[in-house]
Every structure is written in structure tokens, then in C-alpha cells.
Structure 1
Amino acid sequence: MEQHEYATGAGKARGRTGSGRAGGAGQLTAQPSADLYPAAQELAARLAEAAPQAAHDLFTATFGLYGARHLGGAPDPADPAAATTSWWHGPTAHHSAVLRTRPQRYRRGRRDAADQGVPGAGGSSGRHRKPERPRGPDEPAVAVERRTAARLLLAQPLVTGGGPHAAGFPLIRRHADWLAERFEQVLGYRLTVAGRYARLQKAPLPGRALPGFEPATYACLVLALGALADGRAPDLEHPRALDVLKDWQVVGHDPHGLVVDRELAAALAPAAPLAAAGPELAVRRLLVETPVVLLDELRPAEREWLLRRRGAEAVLFADFLGLQTEARAEGVALIDPAGELTDLALPGTGTLAQAALLLVQALVEELRPLPEDTAPPAVLIPDALIDGALGDVTDDHGLRAGWSPEYLADRPAFRRDVLDLLARMRLIVPAGRAWLLRAPAARYAPAADPEPEPRSGRHSRPQDCGPGRPE
């Protein structure tokens, strides 16, 4: 429900907007304004005094510069499933859930960043390719350009003419008015496009913290940004804050020293919060930003709207963003066949992504309800099963797949980070000190076996009978 509360857009961010047109649409933008520093000081004080999770949420609510997150791998189109079919027993994407040995968007850095596929504050460093959905024989080129630009903005809410995604910036400028109107109508987002940058302001969403940031780090970043926007001398001594400003292209270096883009710094100042969303916008925001939406997590009005609109929304998001709708009895997921419209990749490359995929397959095979039983949206995972299954997949694949020696030598950290990745992809969720395995996890496991064989790895331990299993 926490994620739902934020999807309604009822944020508490305060400050000025960088737009000069009603709704922040189009290419007309305000010039950098003075006196932004006092507002930055006020926000920095709130961040510094907040608890860690509250600071993460406040920062995300204020800036909205997070990337979309989607599951990858689509089931075989030749094996369709009705929307009344459970994820536990429906078609799977297991055929595409294989270990990848050539990273597509590998980025060297800290262990967690490299292995989880977690990009820096500015997102993935790779060029944004065209969407997987091909251009139809009668589809005009302008529709393809608009979809490409919209996908880029959803993945990278800040795009500059000289940044890593500069190749897509001309498309954004060319279709700025259409994009601004479409994002406002479909998602209630505010798009600002200027001569050298485009910024999409998203609704607040939890769970999108900057890696390694603490309340004091957020406060340093906000103060530095406010100082730069106001023409003051910033404190750039904190390395993580400086890295983010570089990723945002607010600061850089040339042969003469530090270069500051004060116009961009002002444009990134805290903007006016988006209006609170009704059922339509709240559900759409969850669909396009989060891996999966379960019906039992929605309010009654939202659940009714989604059930009634599933078919129409599938067409809308295929045309607008090139996303494929996967509707099941438990809920809906928007799948990106290209595997690029996400800030975390699953299936993906690196130790954590590979181990997480293998672990979730093992958990599903052990805990999947039998076809004749009621299919719940989630089942409890015995703690010993996690340890045993992760030990088995590590022994079977760790050395052969070249997994991180640091993780292989530090199993508690390995377990923690694998579970964290699966939680961020919404395939498992915490339940007190335990974990629940959610039905969408079954899309990555082999098709259900009427009589699954018990696991025989040396780490596997006898388990109590799972839900629906005979004693």
C-alpha cells in the first residue's frame, strides 16, 4: 500500500517549478531565478533531520528523477494465456531467463552497482536504443519517433543536449508539445523542454534511493544544487554529491577547471508538487514505473478501473511506450521486450541478477501451489529454503559463471543483496522478518510439474509441506 500512496502523487515537496508554461509543457521555460538558496536550505534541513527511509522518500518526492522499472523476458506468444490464468500456472518466460555472459550495459564501479545493474544517479550510461516493438507497415515515422522519445524520457527523466543520451534529445525537442500533452494526459507528469535540456517531473515513488546516500548526503547535494543555481560558491567536498551533480551534467570540467550549468541547476530546483491523482492516474503510474501491480494491493475503485480497462490500456501503452501487457488473475505487468526500459534488469547480467533468477526459479519449484488448489497472490518462504536453494545454485553456477569472488566469500552479504534485488523487482516482499514469494515470480520458472521432484542439492534441507502440498 505504501507504493500506492505515492503513486497518487500526493507529495509534499516544496519549491519552485522550472516551467514557464501552464502545466510545465512545451518548449517555453523560465530563465534561472534568484533566491533559490533559502528554499534549498530549508529542504536540506528537513533531509538532514529525517530518518534514512524518510530521507530517501522525501528526496524522490522532491525531484522525481528516477527511472522506470520493468520485468524482462516475455512468454512465448504462441502460448497465450487468459487474464483469468494465474501466474503460478500460466505461460512462463523461462526460455529467455538464461545466464548471460556478455553484459549489455555493464558499468564498472562498486560491487553493488556492477552486480545489480544499478546505474548511477543519472541512470544507465548506454545509448537509448529504439524500442523492440517494430514499426508496422502502415505506421508513420513520426509515431516511431514519438515513442522513442517517450521511452527515453521515462527511462531518463533528465536528458541534455550534451549528455550521454544526447542522440535522443533532438527527437524530444521536435515532439516537445506532443510529448508534454501526452505525459500530462496519460500520467499526470510535467515535462519541461528548453534549448539544452528536457526534464520530466514524475510523481513520488518509494524505493528509488540514490545508492549509498544517507540523510546528510542528501542535504549536501541539495545545498550544493541550490548554491549553484543561485550563483553562490557551493560546497563540493562530498564525493557522492559531486558524482550526482556530474551525472546530472550540472557540473563538469574543461581545461580551465570546473564548469557550472547554472540554468540546469535552477531547472532542477524543487518543483511544485504534482496534483493528487485519482484511480486512473494512480494505477497508470504504478504500471509504467513498477515491475508488477497486484489487484489485492489496489483500492476498490482502482481495482475496478483496472479490470474494466485492461484491454484499452494494453493498446495505449503499446502505442505510447512499446510495452507489452501481461495480464493474469493476480494482476498486471507491463513487460519491455527490449529489456532496456528499466533501471534494474531481470533477467540481467552480473552476479546478483544471475543468482536472483536462479534462486527465484528454485523457490517457485518448491512453493508453487498445485493447480487444483486456490492460487494465492503470495506464499510464505521458509527461511531455511532460502539458504539451501541459494547454496545449491551458488555451488552449481558460481565458479562456472564467474560470479564475484567477494560475494562467493561473503555468503551473508550475498544473501542480503540477492533478496534485496528480488524485493526491488517486486518478486518477493518482506513480511516482518520473513519473506513472501509473489505469484509473478513463477513467470521465470519452468512450467508447473504435476509432481515436482524434491531438491537434492547438498544445501537443500527438508521442508514442511508448502501450500497445497500433500503431507
Structure 2
Amino acid sequence: MRVAADVSPLELADYQRAVRLLLRHPLITPSYPDKGALPLVRRWTTQLRADLSEVLGYRLLTTADTARLLRVHDRLDATTPALTRTDRPFNRRRYAYLMLTLAALGRSGTQISLSELADAVSADAARIDGLGMDTERKPDRDAFVDAVAWLERRGALALADGSASAWVNDPDRAEALYDIDREIVGAVYRPSRVLQHVRSVTALLDTALFTTGQGLSQGQATMRRAAARKARRLVLEQPVVYYAEVDETLHGQLRSPNLAEDLERLTGLTVERRAEGVAVIDTSGRLSDVRFPGGGTIAQAALLLAARIATYCGPGNRRNAPALLPAPTAAERLAETAGRIDSALPHGNVLAELAGPDRAETAQAGDAVYPFLPDTWSRRVMRELVGQYGAAFGAVWRADPDRLLGEAVALLAKLRLVAVVEGGLLALPLLARYRGVTAEVKRRPDQTTLFEDVK
């Protein structure tokens, strides 16, 4: 089956824009992410449903006011968190309040006051060990209203009267009234399994075909088709897929010319293959949630640090070449992340007789090793960068280069340019793209040094 088979060359760019919208925003409503998104997706619904199912194994569900992409999850991904009103990542408490708010809205009518909703969530939270919600405490009210605001941005709630911010500051004197869009509320939360049947977060991953052997009974053709879909998903959803980190059953699919052809025609982006792996290159930022290189002190510092690492680990540094160490395997990273999530699961509520086996990633790294940079090296280099380009950095970051280093390394790790390990970091192959980066600077009339451009 050819991707976008019924789309004319003149309309292909418009269709690819609809694909990118859905991939970046799995829930689209009349107001989210913008008013033009839903009409665009609805125009291409039939072709989108066919292509996303065949290429990626995703399901597209549409109603009069929603388009919901039900994705298949192969890995745990902490890089796209829900965000608060101030664009900070949700913590566990906010995620818990979000789920309890959805449950309360599901039992409500067409309108609800904020205090009434808070009372319902508070009552449910009190029955969960270690959670609770006290509306007398401002931090709890802040966390709750962050969950409400997240739903409001997506159209599940619409403010009819009052102010949530005023309620947070003084719940005795302020109030807010919301209209409930039950259709959107129902579309927000579509779990792949009933959570009472889940012992571990890994049970939500789609790895059964490769770990339980059930694919053998379905035939080799079915397994190849599933492997091809998984390979495409990995390339599309991760900054880079390194061959050394995936199961050998996927190597052939990742190297297949069909993978690049399908993804490029589906998204309009470029698939780049190197000896170490495969990556989708999104130079325009049309699909990526994080642009790199990007603006701001952290992104600029991360780029300069990446350039220093790439040069230090390059072929020109044979005398002081860093030691080579293996990176944590995909299975190790999954186990570490799952362990942190599972530590908060209320196992007493799991229906053991209905819970199936936990699904875990079995892929192991091969013999790949990567240059190791100790923390002392990174701290020294960051201090040098602050000294050289400090006038272009914010005063807060200039005063705390270690904090800037931590944020820059976290960004590079999110993009799979480095891997953080005990005592330092590993330079991963994609980092070589930034070897030779230079910063051009200019001086304003007041002689303040600023970045003009980073290449």
C-alpha cells in the first residue's frame, strides 16, 4: 500500500501538515491546538485513518468535535510532559489530580463550579494513600487548578463565569463556573488497558508480539508487518534510533529503503541514515516539540557544549582521547524509569486475577561503546564557556554555571546526543553533527557582547 495513495501532488503538502498536526497533538478539538486544526484533519480523515493504521499501527477516532489519535507505545517517554499554567512539567500530584478531575467530570452534568469539582477530587484523593488534597492549602489548590487549566486549554472545560486564579488565592470569596464538553472529556482519556488490571506501567507498552511469542502463532508475515510498524514508530517518535539499542529483529526494518520512503511521504520530513542509526531531521520545527539549535541561554549553552564535546571526542584528539564505555541499554533505561513510576502504584487495588504478565523491553545493546566525559571535564568546559560568552547569558546562569551545565546536559540527553551515566556522560554518535560549531558575536554600541548567530 502506497502512503497518501489518493493525495494529488498539489495537495500533498497540505495532507502532510495534517499528519504532523495529529502526531504532535493526538487530541484535536475545535479550539485546540488552534481553530484551523480540526477542519484540516477532518478534510483528510479517510486517508489519515488508512495511512496511520498501515504505517504506524495507530487508530484515528473522529467525532463532530474531536479527532483522537490512539497511539501505540513501545517505550516510556518522559520528554513530553503535561505542562502547568507557567509551562512547568506536571509532577505526580498534578497528574493524579488530572485523572481524578476527569473521573469527577465523567460523573457530572453539563456545568460545574470549581469549588464543587475541588470537593469531588478532594474526596477521591483522600481515599488514596499518600495523595490527599486539602483545599485549605494553596499548593494543593495550585496543583488542582493546573489540572483544570490543562483540560480548559483543550476545550473539555470552558469558563462560563468567575476566575480560577482568584479562587486559588481566596477560595472563600472567589468562585468559577465551567461548562463541560462531555464529548471532549471522553476523548481525552482512552487507556489501552483497564488500569485495575495493570501491575506495572510496562503493561501499557506494545511489546507482547516480541516478548510473549504470541506472534509466532500469527505467522511470519504478521510479525514482519508488526516489526515494520514498530521500526517506523521508533524513528518517528525518538530523536534518533541507534542500531545498538534495539532488538536485532528490527535492524533489517530500520535499514529498509521503504522505511525512509514511507515516513518522508507521510510527514514531509527527511529521514537520515548513518552507520550508527536512523533519525528524522526536522530542520523547520514543524513536528518537533523541542527545536535544537534553539534560542535562550540553555539551548545556546547546550549547543556550545555539544560542539566542545564533539571536538574533544573527534579524530583530531588522539593524544587525549577519552575512555570508551558502553551506554545503558534500552532495557536498563526502561527498568529504571518503570521502577520510579511503579513505586507509586497502589498495588492493593490491582485485580490480580485479571492482570496479565508485565510487558518489558528485551532489547539489549550490542558491543557499542562511546566516549566517556567525567563530570569534572564538563564543569571545567562550562565555566570556560560562561567566561567566554557570559555576556550573552542571563545573569542568573552566569552566577551558577553548574546549574546551567545540568540544564544543558539534560537537554542534550533528551535529544539523545549524550547519555548521562554515573560520574559523567557518554557522547553518542548524533553529537558529531555539531562538530565545528562556532559562535559569531557582535558588540552593541554599549560594548555588550551578545550572540549574533550560532552555526
Common fold: TM-score over 0.5: yes
- Are residues 193 and 377 of structure 1, via their aligned partners in 2, closer, same or farther at CA, if it must alter by over 3 Å? farther
Does the 8 Å CA contact 1:377/1:438 hold for their aligned counterparts?
Answer: no
Does the 8 Å CA contact 1:159/1:166 hold for their aligned counterparts?
Answer: no
The answer on 1:347 being equivalent to 2:293 is yes
Does the 8 Å CA contact 2:418/2:427 hold for their aligned counterparts?
Answer: yes
- Are residues 215 and 305 of structure 1, via their aligned partners in 2, closer, same or farther at CA, if it must alter by over 3 Å? same
Does the 8 Å CA contact 2:105/2:180 hold for their aligned counterparts?
Answer: yes
- Are residues 141 and 161 of structure 1, via their aligned partners in 2, closer, same or farther at CA, if it must alter by over 3 Å? farther
Partners of 2:97 and 2:157 lie apart in 1 by 15
CA apart distance, 1:139:
5.3
Which blocks of at least 5 consecutive residues in structure 2 are unaligned? 1-6, 83-87, 110-115, 122-140, 163-176, 194-204, 210-225, 325-366, 438-455
CA apart distance, 1:190:
1.7
Partners of 2:67 and 2:301 lie apart in 1 by 37
For 1:263-278, list aligned pairs within 5 A: 263-273=183-193, 276=207, 278=226
2:288 match: secondary structure:
coil
Does the 8 Å CA contact 2:24/2:287 hold for their aligned counterparts?
Answer: yes
Tell me the residue number matched to 1:206: 77
CA apart distance, 1:412:
2.7
The answer on 1:357 being equivalent to 2:270 is no
The answer on 1:220 being equivalent to 2:166 is no
Tell me the residue number matched to 2:260: 314
Does the 8 Å CA contact 1:363/1:385 hold for their aligned counterparts?
Answer: no
Higher RCO (C-alpha under 8 Å, 6+ residues apart): 1
CA apart distance, 1:241:
1.5
CA apart distance, 1:377:
5.7
CA apart distance, 1:196:
1.4
Deviations 1:133-174 (A, max 9, x none): xxxxx9533322221100111111121112342212212101
Give the counterpart of 1:392 among 364, 380, 384.
384
Partners of 1:360 and 1:371 lie apart in 2 by 16
Equivalent AA in structure 2 for residue 321 of structure 1: T
CA apart distance, 1:283:
1.6
Partners of 1:289 and 1:379 lie apart in 2 by 26
Tell me the residue number matched to 1:428: 418
2:11 match: secondary structure:
helix
2:372 match: secondary structure:
strand
1:141 match: secondary structure:
coil
Partners of 1:222 and 1:387 lie apart in 2 by 40
The answer on 1:231 being equivalent to 2:85 is no
Tell me the residue number matched to 1:442: 432
Tell me the residue number matched to 2:9: 140
Equivalent AA in structure 2 for residue 188 of structure 1: G
Equivalent AA in structure 1 for residue 65 of structure 2: R
Tell me the residue number matched to 2:178: 258
Deviations 1:81-119 (A, max 9, x none): xxxxxxxxxxxxxxxxxxxxxxxxxxxxxxxxxxxxxxx
Equivalent AA in structure 1 for residue 94 of structure 2: T
Equivalent AA in structure 1 for residue 240 of structure 2: V
Q: What is the aligned residue count?
A: 307
Partners of 2:191 and 2:14 lie apart in 1 by 28
Partners of 2:91 and 2:117 lie apart in 1 by 19
Tell me the residue number matched to 2:173: none
CA apart distance, 1:275:
5.4
Tell me the residue number matched to 2:270: 324
Does the 8 Å CA contact 1:348/1:354 hold for their aligned counterparts?
Answer: yes
CA apart distance, 1:370:
5.3
CA apart distance, 1:386:
0.8
- Are residues 190 and 371 of structure 1, via their aligned partners in 2, closer, same or farther at CA, if it must alter by over 3 Å? farther
Give the counterpart of 1:177 among 30, 46, 70.
46
2:36 match: secondary structure:
helix
Percent of aligned pairs with the same amino acid: 30
1:203 match: secondary structure:
coil
Partners of 1:439 and 1:377 lie apart in 2 by 10
1:234 match: secondary structure:
helix
Partners of 1:330 and 1:281 lie apart in 2 by 20
Does the 8 Å CA contact 2:61/2:69 hold for their aligned counterparts?
Answer: yes
Does the 8 Å CA contact 2:379/2:402 hold for their aligned counterparts?
Answer: no
Partners of 1:444 and 1:350 lie apart in 2 by 18
With structure 2 as the length reference, what TM-score do the two structures score? 0.62
Tell me the residue number matched to 1:151: 20
The answer on 1:191 being equivalent to 2:139 is no
The answer on 1:296 being equivalent to 2:288 is no
Partners of 1:433 and 1:225 lie apart in 2 by 42
Partners of 2:9 and 2:49 lie apart in 1 by 20
CA apart distance, 1:376:
5.8
Deviations 1:220-258 (A, max 9, x none): 110001111221653274132123222322223245742
CA apart distance, 1:303:
1.3
1:253 match: secondary structure:
strand
Equivalent AA in structure 2 for residue 327 of structure 1: R
Partners of 1:428 and 1:285 lie apart in 2 by 21
CA apart distance, 1:338:
1.5
Partners of 2:291 and 2:232 lie apart in 1 by 21
- Are residues 446 and 412 of structure 1, via their aligned partners in 2, closer, same or farther at CA, if it must alter by over 3 Å? closer
Which blocks of at least 5 consecutive residues in structure 1 are unaligned? 1-137, 448-471
Q: Which has the larger radius of gyration?
A: 2
2:117 match: secondary structure:
coil
Does the 8 Å CA contact 1:160/1:169 hold for their aligned counterparts?
Answer: yes
1:318 match: secondary structure:
helix
- Are residues 370 and 279 of structure 1, via their aligned partners in 2, closer, same or farther at CA, if it must alter by over 3 Å? farther
2:284 match: secondary structure:
coil
